[in-house]
Amino acid sequence: MTHVSVAATAAYLPEHVMTAAELSTRTGIPEPVIVEKFGLHRKHIAADGEHASDLSVRAAGTLLEEAGVDPESIDVVMYFGSMWKDYALWQAAPVYQVVAESGPDHDKQFIVGVYIKEALVAEGQGKSKQEAEQEAARAALEAKGW
């Protein structure tokens, strides 16, 4: 009978770090939701062209060096890749869409809907698209209990 075991594990984190504020700006998700609900204060982000397999190779290289193992002595390397993307968070990011606008140019009113995964979560109204989006975001947070 052949016995198989895991001799060691390793990890590698990319050098670039994105703060919760930067994530909020890039995704449209309010910073308090990212920090309080997702528990993220910062996130390591792979460089352009850097893939999960590249990170794995870096981790493995460090591990082999620390353990003093000759790479040629290894029979099998198992890589359990995933569908993880650096911005997977964006898949659930809200999308804002103007539902209606009314009034003369000098006194417009906008109604904006906020959608998550194509489902309308809430609407907001305002004198500008930005104001309506902010109201829609507040209403969505309240509707979701966030």
- What are the extents of the domains in the chain? 1-92, 94-146
Q: What is the CATH number of domain 1-92?
A: 3.40.47.10
10-residue mean pLDDT profile of the chain (146 residues): values are: 81 90 90 92 86 82 88 76 49 82 93 88 94 93 82
pLDDT at 87: 43
C-alpha distance across the termini of the chain, in Å? 54
Show Cβ contacts of residue 56 under 8 Å, excluding neighbours closer than 6 positions.
12, 79
pLDDT at 101: 94
Q: What is the CATH number of domain 94-146?
A: 3.30.160.20
pTM above 0.75, yes or no: no
Residue 105, phi then psi, degrees to nearest 5? -55, -35
